[in-house]
Structure 1
Amino acid sequence: MWTTALLVLGPTILFVGLVVVIHDYLAPEGGWLRQMEDAGEIFSTVGTGLAVLVAFLIVAAFGHYQNARDAVGKEAVAVQQQYVMASYFDQADSDQLRGEVLCYARAVVDDEWPAMQRNDESARVQGWVDAMDTSMRASTVDTQKQVEALAHWFDVNNDRQDGRRERLAESKPFVPGFLWAALILISLVVLGYQLLMIDPSVKVFGQAYSMAAMAITVFAALAVVFMVDRPFNDRGAEISHIRMDHAIALMSRTAPPTLPCTADGTPTRA
């Protein structure tokens, strides 16, 4: 969060300082663009181009961010439903499946969330996915209720897989590096153009305030895109694992006496 704040305040202070220095020591009377009649129109055109590009990115980035939030909720709900479905099987199979579902949820919180911040995924979580699939195939299905529970398990399992797949996909950067470079370049061009319009015959306060307003607007817009570009990183708008925490708390109330993992989802046996 503090990094995001610095991305706005740091450049703004720098450009305001440049206004003061240029106003007092460098700018000619009337500014460098005093002989260009269309200087204002050029500035307006460049500024409009930047505004349109940033607005498009903000809308797209928020869509990316919302998709990540939806995926997190979808996965957490599916995990709870799988845990409930597992209770319809024989005691041994039920304990095995419920334990693995709970361990999966723990591993998501304690291992895959930090992994997503590194643009990676968790082998520990994938291990529990494989374990659940193996246990389900080996489970005994005798009654009609168990047949129905098995069918619903696989439906919900697809929802969980989709939720995890979408969560991992949305954890990747949305804005490519070359587009960030273009945004920064255009922003510097717009602010640099305003520096060329500094007039030492006009009081510095008004020109410094104008630059501050422009810089804050530009860099705040870039900061918003930066915040939601990586939804699971601590940039001021991080999506937390509170929904999965809630699912873990509910499942833990009726968990089997012996679980195949530790509190962070690490397997206790090979």
Structure 2
Amino acid sequence: MGRKKVIGAQIVVDWRGEVGASVEGSISRVFGEIVDVWLLNHFNTLVLAVVIVGSVILFAIFGSVMLRRRFHGISEGKHNETVGVLLGVYGAIYGILLAFVVVAEWDGVDIAESVVASEATHAAEIVRGAAAFPSADRDRVIQAVGEYARVVVNNQWPLLKKGMPDSSQSEGALKNIYQMLQGYEPDTASEKAYYEQAVAHLDEVVSERRSRLVIAEQGLPVLLKVLIYGGALIMVSLTFFYGVRNRKAQLMFVGSVAALIGVSLLLTLALDHPFAGDLSITPAPFKQGVLAQFWN
């Protein structure tokens, strides 16, 4: 989806051989991600909508009222032609940028859901394939897969919601599945066929697990966030200068524009972190189908 995040100081070596740490940018980025995730996890979408959209509307109304009081010519619409052109041009550019971000983030959420479902599906296929193994080996493989599913849901998922994915949480359980398969030697043609499929599915589990952890680390780049939030500030501020003789009509105008921008900012925030908040991706696929037996 083109969303990216780097946590920690990046060491940069310039052409003179000098080493510097981009600590300031990394700290500000991490702090911003922590604040975003904290808001999503501690307030439901309705509360965030009231706070974010309401704040933008209040800012727009307050700014419009203060500017009308300070510059009486605004209410007469003396600069409406120029302001109208600026609003049209800037609104088109900002709208395209905002649409690009929202669509990209929405695609990212779809990808994340597909990755989680695929990981759980491949884990389930290992369980199904293990039915062809001798009972002792079958039980060991199934038990190992069950341990992995429980670790992902109980240990790793809470960290994903906090924006702090930790691969070590499921590393031991994943290694255990490999050990169970490596310790089994198939005899019949049927056992060999299902064994090869189980190993292939396990490789896919590893691949999808890595993708899930990478997605959980991703987020909008700082520069893009500056463009989105800074652009919203400029867009709302420009509406202050578009004069309407009737004050109520002007407040309705700036308020409606502010509400639209506020909702867009809320959507951008919610979609930026697919594992956090009310709209987050759940570990439900790890509790469905043949994997449901591990939760009874």
SS at match of 2:209: helix
| Aligned residue in 2 for 1:260 | none
Mapped contact 2:124–2:291 kept (Cα < 8 A): no
- Aligned partners of 2:281, 2:239: CA distance in 1, in Å? 37
Give the alignment partner of residue 207 of structure 2, picking from 127, 137, 162.
162
Aligned positions, number: 250
- Aligned partners of 2:96, 2:207: CA distance in 1, in Å? 34
| Aligned residue in 2 for 1:204 | 247
Letter in 1 for 2:137: D
- The alpha-carbon deviation at position 162 of structure 1 amounts to 2.6
Letter in 2 for 1:231: P
- Aligned partners of 1:217, 1:163: CA distance in 2, in Å? 37
Give the alignment partner of residue 110 of structure 2, picking from 66, 70, 92.
66
Change (3 A) 1:30 1:3: closer
Mapped contact 1:85–1:153 kept (Cα < 8 A): yes
| TM-score, reference length from structure 1 | 0.84
| Aligned residue in 2 for 1:136 | 181
Mapped contact 1:58–1:225 kept (Cα < 8 A): yes
Change (3 A) 1:188 1:32: farther
| Aligned residue in 1 for 2:286 | 244
- The alpha-carbon deviation at position 11 of structure 1 amounts to 1.6
- Where does the alignment leave 5 or more consecutive residues of structure 1 unmatched? 256-270
- The alpha-carbon deviation at position 18 of structure 1 amounts to 2.7
Mapped contact 1:31–1:198 kept (Cα < 8 A): yes
Q: Residues 103-252 of structure 1: matches in 2 within 5 Å?
A: 103-117=147-161, 118-198=163-243, 202-234=245-277, 236-247=278-289, 250-252=292-294
Change (3 A) 1:185 1:32: farther
User: Mean Cα displacement is larger for which, 48-57 or 118-127?
Assistant: 118-127
- The alpha-carbon deviation at position 152 of structure 1 amounts to 0.7
| Relative contact order, higher structure (CA 8 A, sep 6+) | 1
Change (3 A) 1:20 1:47: same
Change (3 A) 1:185 1:105: same
| 1:177-220 CA distance string (max 9 Å, x none) | 22111111111111111112345xx2221111111110111121
User: Mean Cα displacement is larger for which, 88-97 or 34-43?
Assistant: 34-43
- Aligned partners of 1:104, 1:167: CA distance in 2, in Å? 15
Letter in 2 for 1:243: P
| 1:31-72 CA distance string (max 9 Å, x none) | 598357533212211111100100111111111110001111
- The alpha-carbon deviation at position 73 of structure 1 amounts to 0.9
| TM-score, reference length from structure 2 | 0.77
SS at match of 2:187: coil
| 1:68-118 CA distance string (max 9 Å, x none) | 011111111111111122232222222211111001001111111112222
* Higher Cα Rg, which structure: 1
Change (3 A) 1:213 1:132: same
User: Mean Cα displacement is larger for which, 26-35 or 207-216?
Assistant: 26-35
Letter in 1 for 2:258: A
SS at match of 1:233: coil
| Aligned residue in 2 for 1:77 | 121
SS at match of 1:134: helix
Mapped contact 1:93–1:140 kept (Cα < 8 A): no
- Aligned partners of 2:171, 2:76: CA distance in 1, in Å? 62
SS at match of 2:132: coil
Mapped contact 1:78–1:157 kept (Cα < 8 A): yes
- The alpha-carbon deviation at position 225 of structure 1 amounts to 1.8
**Aligned pair 1:56/2:103, yes or no?**
no
Change (3 A) 1:32 1:76: farther
- Aligned partners of 1:219, 1:197: CA distance in 2, in Å? 19
Give the alignment partner of residue 90 of structure 1, picking from 125, 129, 134.
134
| 1:153-180 CA distance string (max 9 Å, x none) | 0121122223222222222333112211
